[in-house]
Structure 1
Amino acid sequence: MVEVKLHDIGEGMTEADINTFLVNIGDRVKADDPLVEVQTDKMTAEIPAPKSGVVKQFLVQPGETVTVGTTILIIEESSSGDTHQIQENTKFTKNHQHQDNTAVTNVHQTQESTTVTRTHQPNEYSTVAKKTKRILASPYTRKIARDHQVNIELISGSGVAGRITDEDVYAYIQSLETQKPIENIKPIKETPPLITTKKNTIPFRGRRKQIAKKMTQSLYTIPHCTHFEEIDVTNLIQFRQELKEKKIQISATAYFIKALSIALKEFPIFNARLNEDQEEIELISEHHIGIAVDTEEGLIVPVIKHAEQKSLKQIHLEMKELTEKALNDQLTVKDITGGTFTISNVGPLGGSLGATPIIQHPQVALVSFHKTKKMPVVTDDDQIVIRSIMNVSMSFDHRVADGATAVKFTNRLAELIQNPKMLLLELV
């Protein structure tokens, strides 16, 4: 027997929600076939089969939250010599022993049904297997069905091998909306009206629940300190317009990331990790910059790897690709792990003058870029001019760095952003 366990599929992951099983009891699977879809705080992922065999038992239920290391299901390993026997014996019954070592055996093997019974031992599930077709659909397609409270098993797939597409789900939803059932209206005895209140709720599970736990861990572990700054982005806006006229499109966030990378080379204390057990601060030379992306399922942070080695154009293109993948729920584990510093650009949303962002533990700092607005500014020669000013907030781990260092860091960051052509002095 092979125990399929929930393994760590993301940096710092401790638990995940069980979304749905992709196989049924009695199904024969090959190594690396997807078995179950899980949801972490960062992504939807599939747990593959470690070996070939027959699915024998589910030990958890959809909707349940399980920790890393928990056994999710059991596979009976197959080999070339016992293939025929496995095909004939996909029905089984298994009894668990009670804590007082009283053995209870009640095995029934039939071709019509499979029943797994257990004694009254806590924290175990009994499973009744039923033969249903395997549903082929991507995690995002399944999400669409869940959001519209549609049973995806009732939808016929038009894709290859019967795979259900996004269009299939939407077509099914539309067909339900066009159906108008006829209701039999019966006279009822007149009674006093009852006063009722409608309770609106939002499920607190999946990514939202995982985000909450991650943020709570960070806030209670790291002594946060937030430093606020104003940065003049007038020159940056003008420079971007000049490039745009030459058909060169680079987002403002790409400039921010490049400026941050240059500043981090000079202030490596903010691209670090604190190891309290070893009593040391690890300074990380690689700049893996996480970008906070607002999705329907909640905040997710894809990571641009080795920003210190990339040009403005490379950063812009990679950021655009990762953002699209995040919005379509297509990020992989590689896309969201390994971050050393995080940024959040909420300025385009409007209305944000400042915030106290929570650091992505175990990182030590995060910078958030806020609303830009035109303001009168007094120059060094006492002239009043109109400039575009952006608010910035930086949260940092006060165990690792002091406020004076944070001020110097943001001053350098402001200098680079206010003079964007200086970024071109970087060869990459």
Structure 2
Amino acid sequence: MEVKLHDIGEGMTEAVVLSYFVKKGDYVKADQPLVEVQTDKMVAEIPAPAAGIIQDILVPEGETISVGTTILTLEAKSPPLVETMSNQPNVTAESVHLFAVKKEETVCAKRMIERRVLASPYTRKIAREHGVDLEQVVGTGRGGRITDEDVYRFIETNNAKQTNHSSVAGGGTESQSFEKADDNAPSFSVIPFRGRRKQIAKKMAQSLYTIPHCTHFEEADVTELIRFREELKQQNFHISATAFFIKALSLALKQFPIFNARLDEEREVIHLKQEHHIGIAVDTEEGLIVPVIKHVESKSLREIHEEAKRLTKKAQENKLTLQEMTGSTFTVSNVGPLGGSIGATPIINYPEVALMAFHKTKKRPVVMENDEIAVRSMMNISMSFDHRVADGATAVAFTNYFVRLIENPKLMLMELI
């Protein structure tokens, strides 16, 4: 029986084989995870189609394969343990069942212990290749997650200990022989270019090669928004700035639906989407990932805040489902909290029409309408759009409307009535 890479969804054409949960000769149950693969959207497990024994593993870890490729072969058969016991004299069907259940409980308990270690599939792969027990590694990532750097640091520490031990055991440095380093040799390190990093690269290249990008820059005075959020906090309403940005964006998209569209060049039409499914770019240890808040146009500020918080947490823990990462019609990137960003030329999340980035908020002197100078909290905005679909004047009008709502948050609430 062949186990193949099937289409997980969203037009997926290929995936990277990250790691195997089984080896040749292992007995597996139906629906037991066999292998973990990485698409451009997510990490997914491919389960066993039936119970049986692994005959052969055909694709090595780290290789990129297309949909329909046979990953491994499986010989369907019943559990060998139960078959052996069933053939023994004086063994009842009840005792066979109890023994099998007990064994399964032991296996499940062992898997639960192993899964307590928080680490990505690629980090686990590094550990396996270097013979590192992840339970001995201290994780420095979010929630104690073990990162690639943690594993490499553990390896270096162990190597240093072994070197020192060898020096002492050998009676000092006189017994050691060192090869003279070539001063002209280049010094560099290598990191793999595959998995999510490779998929992100392909997505970005596709967007730049396909879409004529044009980026419009604007600034917004968010002083009143900051004050309004503080007022809400005093009333025990905790709403993030991102939630305000997303809701204001949805209101702007109602006025300028051309930025919530899809271009179909083959049929020569532009589809204006009625639903506002907003993707939120999240920086994770595994790379950039974009969970999607569905139907923002019908959600309250509190609902948007809670959903953004939930999806961001799942993204950082690599627990997003395919449904939570697909279907976006517009994407936002809030890089301000990362610090140091005053502007950028963001790449559109193809096949969307536009993307808006919010940069770091800084206090600076501003000349007001009465010519007085005041210290205000100013935030820069970068909006990239598809110049095939919209013109610069439309982009300016769109961002002006958005800025008007952000600078007057109470006015934004009036728009919702």
TM-score normalised by L of structure 1: 0.77
Q: In the TM superposition, what are the counterparts of 1:19-418 in structure 2 within 5 Å?
A: 19-78=18-77, 137=115, 140-143=118-121, 145-146=123-124, 149-150=127-128, 155=133, 177=157, 180-181=161-162, 182-183=165-166, 184=170, 187=175, 194-195=182-183, 196-418=185-407
RMSD over aligned Cα atoms: 3.5
Instruction: Give the helix-richer structure, 1 or 2.
Output: 2
Structure 2 CA distance, aligned partners of 1:267 and 1:217?
A: 26
Amino acid at match of 1:301: V
Q: Residue by residue, what CA displacement relative to the aligned partner does 1:110-148 show, whole Å, maximum 9, x if unpaired? A: xxxxxxxxxxxxxxxxxxxxxxx9895489535484486
SS in structure 1 at match of 2:25:
coil
Structure 2 CA distance, aligned partners of 1:59 and 1:348?
A: 45
Matched length: 374
Q: Residue by residue, what CA displacement relative to the aligned partner does 1:374-404 show, whole Å, maximum 9, x if unpaired? A: 2333333333333222111111111111111
Amino acid at match of 1:266: Q
> What is the deviation of 1:246?
2.2
Do the aligned partners of 2:243 and 2:304 also contact (CA within 8 Å) in 1?
A: yes
Structure 2 CA distance, aligned partners of 1:371 and 1:157?
A: 39
Structure 2 CA distance, aligned partners of 1:395 and 1:421?
A: 27
Amino acid at match of 2:27: R
Q: Residue by residue, what CA displacement relative to the aligned partner does 1:341-379 show, whole Å, maximum 9, x if unpaired? A: 100011122221111100111111100011222233333
TM-score normalised by L of structure 2: 0.79
Structure 2 CA distance, aligned partners of 1:361 and 1:411?
A: 24
- 2:17 maps to 1:18: yes
Amino acid at match of 2:37: V
Structure 1 CA distance, aligned partners of 2:145 and 2:390?
A: 51
Report the counterpart of residue 102 of structure 1 in structure 2. Answer: none
Amino acid at match of 1:13: M
Q: Residue by residue, what CA displacement relative to the aligned partner does 1:72-127 show, whole Å, maximum 9, x if unpaired? A: 122334589xx969x9xxxxxxxxxxxxxxxxxxxxxxxxxxxxxxxxxxxxxxxx
Q: Residue by residue, what CA displacement relative to the aligned partner does 1:45-91 show, whole Å, maximum 9, x if unpaired? A: 211223444322222110111122322122334589xx969x9xxxx
> What is the deviation of 1:413?
0.6
Do the aligned partners of 2:123 and 2:146 also contact (CA within 8 Å) in 1?
A: no
Do the aligned partners of 1:44 and 1:139 also contact (CA within 8 Å) in 2?
A: no
State the percentage of identical aligned residues. Answer: 59
Report the counterpart of residue 127 of structure 1 in structure 2. Answer: none
Amino acid at match of 1:36: V
> What is the deviation of 1:218?
0.8
Structure 1 CA distance, aligned partners of 2:126 and 2:353?
A: 39
Alpha carbons of structure 1 residues 293 and 321: separation in structure 2 relative to 1, 3 Å: same
Structure 1 CA distance, aligned partners of 2:126 and 2:22?
A: 23
Gaps of 5+ in 2: 87-109, 137-142
> What is the deviation of 1:406?
1.0
Amino acid at match of 2:7: D
SS in structure 1 at match of 2:17:
strand
Structure 1 CA distance, aligned partners of 2:23 and 2:265?
A: 46
